[in-house]
Chains A and B, each alone.
Chain A
Amino acid sequence: MSADSLIVLALLLPTAGAGLIAMTGRNPNLRETVTIVTSLALFATVMGVLTAVLSGAEPRTTPVEIFAGVEFGFSVEPLGMIFAVVASGLWIANSIYSIGYMRGNDEPRQTSFYVCFAIAIAATIGVAFAANLFTLFLFYEILTLSTYPLVAHKANAGAMAGGRIYLLMLLGTSMALLLPAIIWTGIVAGTLDFIPGGILDGKLGSTALGLLLALYIFGIGKAAVMPVHYWLPAAMVAPTPVSALLHAVAVVKAGVFTVLKVIVYVFGIDLLSATGASEWLVFVAAFSLLMASLVALTRNNLKARLAYSTVSQLAYVVLGAALATQAAIIGSGMQIVMHATGKITLFFCAGAIAVATRKTEISDMVGIGRRMPVTMFAFLIGSLSIIGLPPFGGTWSKWWLGIGAVDAGHAWVVAVLMVSSLLNVAYLLPIVARGYFLPPPEAKSGEPVAVTEAPAACVIPLCITAALCIVLFFAAGEVEALLAQMGMVAPTDITATLAKGEPDGP
C-alpha cells in the first residue's frame, strides 16, 4: 500500500473503529477488543507513513477544492509525522488504561465514551496530516466537539459547568479569532496551503503581521496561552483517561502543534525574525510559563495542579515558536513529544491513585508511596522528565529551547527556563517526597503499610509511559533528525542555512 493511501487509512481506521465500538456496545469485552485492535492498527499504519517519510517521501493526497482558494487535502511533513506518532502511540497506552479506569470506577455510558475517544483520535490524525489551514481548522473543530461529551461525561452539575466552559472557550476562540485570521490570511496570501518558508512574505506590514499572529495565538485556544487557558483547569472534571487525552495525547498538543505549523508554514520563521512581529509573544509566553507554574504551586487538587503545570509546559512550545529560530522550533517540536510522555504518566498516576484510594487532594496523599510504590515511582520519573533532568526525555526540549533563545538574542529566556524548572521541582517533587518518606496517617507506627496498587490495566500503561521517558532521552537524536528535515525556510534557501552551520544535536 502506498504511503498516500496510508494517510487515508489512518483517518478511516479510528472512524470505522468508532462505528464498530458503537455496534458492539452490548458486549463490553468485544467493545474493548475493538478499541485495542483499532489503536494497534492505527499505530502500525502511522508507522508505515513514518517509514515512507524517513526514506525521504512526502506523502500527500490530491486536494479537493471546496471553493476558490479553499481546499481539503492532506500532506505529511516531519512535525505532523511526529505528532501523529505520539498521538497514535499514546492512544494504545491510554486505551488499556481507560479499560482499567472505567471498569475500576464503574463509570456509566462507557460505549459513548469509547466512541467519542476514537473520533477524537481520528480528528487528531486529521490535524497532524492537514495540508492547509482549512483542513486543519476542520479537524481542530471536530476534535473540540468530540471531546466535549468526554469532558461532560459524568453529567452532574460540575461536569456540565466544566463542559460548558470547555466548549464555549474552545469553540468561541476558534470561531471568533482563528476563523477571521484564516480568512484574512486567505485574502492577503491567496492560498491557505502550508508551504515551507511561509505564505505571507511581503504581503503585510510588521504591525499587521503582529496583529494577525495575535489572532492566531489567542484563536488557537487549545494552546492555552494565558488568558485563554481557563478551559484547561475547568476540564479536569473529566474522567482521568480523558484528562490524559486532553493534556498529553490530543487536545492541547493539537493546539501547540497548530501554533508551530502556523509559525513555520504560514508566517515563516525568516519573516518573523526579520520583522520582529513575534517579539511580543516571547514575553507573553514567558509570562504564561512562569505564572502558570506559580498558580500550580497553590493548587491542592492533584489534577488541578497538573492542569496548571500543562499550561506552563505548553507555553514552552509557544515560546519556542515565538523565538522563531531553527533551534527553538526543534525545541518546541521536541517539547511536544517529551511533555506528552511525561504528562500522560503523571495523569495515569493521578487516576491510579483515585481508583485505588479515591483520593484526589494532594494533602491527603501523605504516605501514598508506601501504599502504591510502583505508581509513585512512575510519578517520580514523569516529574523529573517534566522538570528537565537527565536521563529523561524532557532534558532535550529545554536544551534546544535554550540554544534557540540565545540564537534569537534573548538570553534572558534561559533564566526564565531555569526558574521555571525550579518551580516545577517545587510543585511536583514534594508530592513524591511526602508520599515516600512520611507514613500514612491511618497507619499504626512501626507496622509496614499494605501495598494496594490500582488494577493492572492501570499500572502497566503508566509503567510503559514512564519507561518511554527514559527511552526518549536516548532516542532524542532520531526526533531531532526528523525535526531538522522540516522545511523551515523556502527550498531555495536551504543551502544557505546549511552553510551557516547549525549546532550539533545530541
Chain B
Amino acid sequence: MISSNLPALQVVLPLLGAVLAALVRRGPIAWLIALVVSWTMPAIAFALLRQVLTEPDGVVSYALGGWTPPLGIEYRVDLVSAYILILVSVMGALVISYAPRSVASEIAPERQAWFYTMYLLCMAGLLGIAITGDAFNAFVFLEVSSLSTYVLIALGHDSRAVLSAYQYLIVGTIGATFYVLGVGLLYVMTGSLNLADIAGRIGDIENIRPLLAALAFITVGISLKVALFPVHLWLPNAYAFAPSVVTAFLASTATKVALYLLLLSVAAMIVASVVAVFQANIKRMLAYSSVAQIGYITLGIALITQTGLTGGIVHIFNHAVMKATLFMAVGCIVFRTGVVRIEDLAGIGRRMPLTMGAFVIAGLGLIGVPGTVGFVSKYFLVAGALEKGWWWLAAIIVISSLIAVVYVGRVIEVAWFREPTAAIKDAGKPPLEMLAFTCILAAAIVVLGFDTELTAGIAARAAEVLLAGMT
C-alpha cells in the first residue's frame, strides 16, 4: 500500500508537515516536525530509486487520483528524477539538521515556526518539480517553491531582506510568466501537457518555429528563476528543475538548439566566474560561482553525448555537495562573527580552522582538483568535449576553473594569511552541530571524489536512458 503510493507521499508529506508546523506556532516543535519530515524524504527517495531499478522499463509511473495519463497528472520517476529526488531530499535533510541555531540567531522567535513552514513548502515544491511528469503541474510546484522562498528571504531580520524579497518576487513572476507562455505554446502545438506524451508527439510537427519559441520562453523563464535564487539559501532549487527540463529538452529539439544552450553555458561559465572574482560579499561571490557552475551542467546537456551528459548530470550532484559545504561554512562564520565581507574575514582561518578547512576543500572542489568531486565532473565534461573534437570547449572549461582559482584563492589568502582583526579574534567556536554537518559534507566531497559508484555510476545510467529516449 505505502510502497505503491511513494511518489505521492514524496510531495504530500512535506505539504502536510508545512501545515502542521504552521499550526503549532512554536519554533522548536516546528523544527522537530521539519526535521522528521526532512529525514523521511531521503528514505522515500531511496525506496523510489530501488523501485526504478527493479522496474523492467526503468520508469515508475503514478497516476494521481487514479486519472490515467495523459489526461490526469502523472508522477513519473525514472533514473534521472530519482537521482534528483535523492539529491534534493538529502541536502534538505542535512540543511535542516544544521539550521536551528543559525535560524534562531537570525529570525525572531515568533516567526521561526513560519520559517520551518516555508522551508517544508519549498521542499514540497522542489520535490514536486522533480517528480511530476506534467508541464503545468511543474509550473504549480515552481510557484509553490518560489513563493515560499520569497517568504524565507523576507523573514531575515535585516530590513533590506524585505526589499530583496520584493525584487525576487517581481523578477520571479516575470520568469514564471515566461514559463507559462512556453507551456501554453507547447500545449497548442501538441495538444498535451504530459511531458512524455509531448515528447512522443513533437516528432510529427512540421513547423518547428513555435516549438523553438516555446523552448525559448521556458528556458528564459527557468533561467530567471534559477539564476536569482542561489543568492539567499542553501536549498538546491536549481537542480530540481533539471530532470523535467533535461527530459523535455532532449526529447524535443535537442540537436537544433544545442548550440544556443552551449553558447549560453559558455557565457555563464566565463562571465559569472569573472563577476564572482570582483564581489566583496562572500555570499554574493558564491552565488555568482553557482551561476557559472550551472553553466557546467547545461554544457554537459548541450553536448548530447554519453560522456558529456554523464558529466552534466554528475555535476548536478557534485555541485550541490560543494556549494552546500561552502554556504554552511559561511553560515558558521556569519553565526559567530556576522561578517560577510571578504576583506573583513582576515585571519578567520586561524580562529576557525575546521570551518575554513571545509571551505578550502569545497573551494578546491570548485577548481576541480583531483581527489574531490569537482574533478570527476570536470573529467567527464572535458572528455565529452574532446571526444567531439571541440578543443576550444575543453579550453574554455579549464579556463573557467582557473578563474575559480582566483576567487577561491582570494578568500583563502585573506582568511589564513592576514592577521586577525579584533572582531575575528573574539569570535567563539561555531556550534558543534553546525560544524559537524559542515565537516560531514566536506568529507563527502573527498570520499565521493574517490568512490563514484553512487554519483557517476547512476549519472552514466541516467544518461544512457535519456539518450536512448532520443532515438
A residues whose Cβ falls under 8 Å from a Cβ of B: 64, 66-67, 70, 72, 134, 137-138, 141-142, 145, 149, 152, 155, 160, 163-164, 167-168, 171-172, 175-177, 179-180, 183-184, 186-187
Instruction: Decide yes or no: A183 and B386 within 8 Å by CB, A160-B417, A172-B402 being known contacts.
Output: yes
Beyond A134-B370, A155-B417, whether A175 also contacts B401 by CB under 8 A is: yes
CB <8 Å contact, A183 and B409: no
The B417-462 residues at the A interface (CB cut-off 8 A) are: 417-418, 449-452, 456-457
Q: Let me know if B405 and A187 touch, CB within 8 A.
A: no
- The answer to whether B379 touches A172 (Cβ under 8 A) is no
User: What residues of B have a CB within 8 angstroms of the CB of A177 in the complex?
Assistant: 398
Residues of A near B417 (CB, < 8 A) are 152, 155, 160, 163
Task: Report the bound CA distance from A70 to B417 in whole Å.
Answer: 36
A22 to chain B, nearest CB (A): 9
Task: Give A180 to B368 CA distance when docked, in angstroms.
Answer: 12
In contact, B450 and A183 (Cβ under 8 angstroms): no
**A183 with B379: CB separation less than 8 A:** yes
The answer to whether the Cβ of B193 comes within 8 Å of any Cβ in the partner chain is no
Q: Is the CB of A160 within 8 A of B413?
A: yes
* Contact residue among B367, B382, B452 (Cβ-Cβ distance under 8 Å from A171): B367
Question: Which A-chain residue is minimally distant from B381 (CB atoms)?
Answer: A183
Asked whether, in the complex, the Cβ of B368 is within 8 Å of the Cβ of A175, the reply is yes
Asked whether A67 lies within 8 Å of B376 as measured between CB atoms, the reply is yes
Task: Please report the C-alpha to C-alpha distance between residue A70 and residue B370 in the assembled complex, in whole angstroms.
Answer: 11
B399 at the interface (CB under 8 A from A): yes
- Bitwise, B354-374 to A at CB < 8 A (1) or not (0) is 000000000010011111000
Q: Does B225 contact A (CB under 8 A)?
A: no
When distances are taken between beta carbons in the complex, the residues of chain A under 8 Å from B383 are 183, 186-187
Distance to closest chain A CB from B386 (angstroms) = 6
- On whether A145 and B364 interact (CB within 8 A), knowing A67-B376, A72-B450, A180-B394, the answer reads yes
Query: With an 8 A cutoff between CB atoms, is B76 at the interface?
Result: no
Determine the chain A residues whose CB is within 8 A of the CB of B399 once the complex forms: 176
Taking CB atoms, residues of chain A closer than 8 Å to B456 are 67
The contact of B382 among A66, A152, A164, A180, by CB within 8 Å, is A180
Apart from A168-B406, A175-B367, what 6 extra A-B contacts exist at CB < 8 Å? A152-B413, A175-B368, A175-B402, A176-B395, A176-B402, A183-B386
Q: Are B409 and A167 in contact (CB under 8 A)?
A: yes
Instruction: Give the docked Cα–Cα distance between A212 and B399 (Å).
Output: 18
Bound-complex Cα distance A137 to B409 (A): 20
CB distance from B108 to the nearest CB of A (A): 41
Knowing A145-B364, A180-B386, A183-B386, say if A66 contacts B409 (CB, 8 Å).
Answer: no
Q: Which of B364, B382, B409, B449 contacts A179 (CB 8 A)?
A: B382
Residue of B nearest to A154 (CB): B417
Given contacts A64-B450, A179-B378, contact A141 B405 (CB under 8 A): no
- Partner of B370 from the list A67, A138, A152 (CB cut-off 8 Å) is A138
Task: Provide the residues of chain A in CB contact with B395, threshold 8 Å.
Answer: 176, 180
Q: How far is the CB of B371 from chain A (nearest CB, A)?
A: 5
A137 touches B376 (CB 8 A): no
Are A167 and B405 CB-contacts (below 8 A) given A67-B452, A72-B450?
Answer: yes
Alpha-carbon distance between A172 and B398 when the two chains are bound, in angstroms: 9
B356 smallest CB distance to A (angstroms): 13
Instruction: Give the residues in chain B near A180, CB-CB below 8 Å.
Output: 382, 386, 394-395, 398
CA distance A183 to B368 in the complex (A): 13
Asked, given contacts A67-B452, A141-B369, A183-B379, whether A149 binds B416 with beta carbons under 8 Å apart, the answer is: yes
A160 to B395 Cα, complex, angstroms = 28
Annotate B230-270 by CB proximity to A: 1 below 8 A, 0 otherwise: 00000000000000000000000000000000000000000
Residues of B in contact, count (CB < 8 Å)? 32
Chain B residues near A171 (CB-CB < 8 A): 367, 402, 405
Nearest Cβ distance between residue B401 and chain A, in whole angstroms?
5
Give bound CA distance, A66 to B368, whole Å: 15
B387 within 8 A of A: yes
Whole-angstrom distance between the Cβ of B332 and the nearest chain A Cβ? 21
Name the residue among A64, A67, A152, A171 with the largest chain B CB count within 10 angstroms. Answer: A67
Known A-B contacts A152-B417, A160-B417; A137 and B379 likewise in contact (beta carbons under 8 Å): no
Q: How far is the CA of A453 from the CA of B232 in the complex (A)?
A: 61
Task: Give chain B residues whose Cβ lies under 8 Å from the Cβ of A176.
Answer: 395, 398-399, 402
CB of A95 to closest CB in B, whole Å = 23
CA–CA, A292 and B412, complex, Å: 33
- Tell me the bound Cα distance from A138 to B364 in angstroms: 12
With A and B bound together, what is the CA distance between A175 and B456 in angstroms?
21
A171, A172, A183, A186 interface centre (most CB from chain B within 10 Å): A183
State whether A183 touches B405 (Cβ < 8 A): no
Complex Cα distance A454/B395, Å? 50
Residues of B within 8 A of A72 (CB): 450
Residue pair A66, B450 in contact (C-beta under 8 Å): yes
Across the A-B interface, give the 3 residue pairs with the lowest CB-CB distance, nearest first. Answer: A138-B370, A176-B398, A155-B417
Q: How far is the CB of A131 from chain B (nearest CB, A)?
A: 14
Tell me the complex Cα distance, A187–B456, Å: 17
Contact A168:B405 (CB < 8 A) given known A66-B450, A179-B382: yes
A contact residues around B402 at 8 Å (CB): 168, 171-172, 175-176
B405 in complex: contacting residue of A66, A152, A160, A175, CB < 8 Å:
A175
Tell me the complex Cα distance, A142–B449, Å: 14
Q: Which residue of B lies closest to A64 (CB)?
A: B450
Q: Are B405 and A172 in contact (CB under 8 A)?
A: yes
CA distance A4 to B360 in the complex (A): 32
Q: How far, in Å, is A433 (CB) from chain B's closest CB?
A: 41
Q: Can you sample 25 A-B contacts with CB below 8 Å? A: A67-B452, A70-B379, A141-B369, A142-B371, A149-B416, A152-B413, A152-B417, A155-B417, A160-B413, A163-B413, A163-B417, A164-B409, A167-B405, A168-B409, A171-B367, A171-B402, A175-B367, A175-B401, A175-B405, A177-B398, A179-B368, A179-B382, A180-B394, A180-B395, A184-B386
